[in-house]
Amino acid sequence: MDLQLTGKRALVTGSSSGLGEAIARALAAEGADVVVHGRDRLRTETVATAIRTAGGRAHIAIGDLTTDDGADAVAEAALAGGPIDILVNNAGAYPHRSWKEATAADWSHTYEVNVVSGVRMILRLVPRMHKRGWGRVIQIGGGLGLQPSADLPHYTATLAARHNLTVSLARELKGTGVTANTVAPGAILVDSVQRFLTDLAPARGWGETWEDIERNAIEELVPNDVGRMGRPEEIAAAVLYLSGPLADYVTGTTLRVDGGTIRGVH
């Protein structure tokens, strides 16, 4: 299927590794001109070089989105090659803190990283999409924003905020040709998650092979109907669909890619 992304320009925040990297690579493979964003220049350039080596088009934007100056620098670098048609707000963090451990400062910082950073990019790029009459804003949310657990309360609250602002933005953009949607992953196998679960495995008795660790961790922590963690490429596929003209009639919605983790109708 031709997703009609050739010639579109996309900025994927937090794409120097992990899920963001997978999204950037997938967009480039479909013909989009991709801006890879990160705070570390070497890591960011490494991803962009890999995309170019594979035949794609990639540029870089360096900056800390938790500051106005950093967001200005990223927007300027992204727009240097032309207008941005697709904004994927992926950048974020999930510090492991419980209710007893998370301080008010932790809550404030996590909100700044996971919510306000995305808002900064929306404010800088979406008005330009509006003027051109076409654009895509895709938030990377998560099932914990819909079905919170007791753990990571500061993080799950920011996911809920991402979902909420997407719907508000979609209402604001009514009739403009610009859509706003959320992709909500379940537990996704990125390097940091694999390291965390592998370190946790001995104390939990999950086994020694990754196959055993993954199966037992899913069953104990985030049970789903597929019985495994999702792969970054599976999230990227959902982003690809929402990024193109085939999704012109989809806005203000949440596309869950979670193996059936959320047990309900939303």
- Catalytic, out of 94, 111, 155, 249: 155
Cα separation, 121 vs 71, in Å, equals 7
Element (H, E) at 231: none
Comparing CA positions, the residue from 83, 266, 255, 87 lying closest to residue 179 is: 87
221 burial via Cβ count (<10 Å: 0-12, 13-18, 19+):
middle
242 burial via Cβ count (<10 Å: 0-12, 13-18, 19+):
buried
Does residue 94 have an active-site annotation?
no
Provide Rg for the chain, Cα atoms: 18
CB neighbours of 175 closer than 8 A, spacing ≥ 6?
A: none
Cα separation, 119 vs 104, in Å, equals 21
Comparing CA positions, the residue from 59, 63, 15, 53 lying closest to residue 33 is: 59
Contact 81, 5 (CB under 8 A): no
Cα separation, 139 vs 89, in Å, equals 5
Which residues form the catalytic set? 155
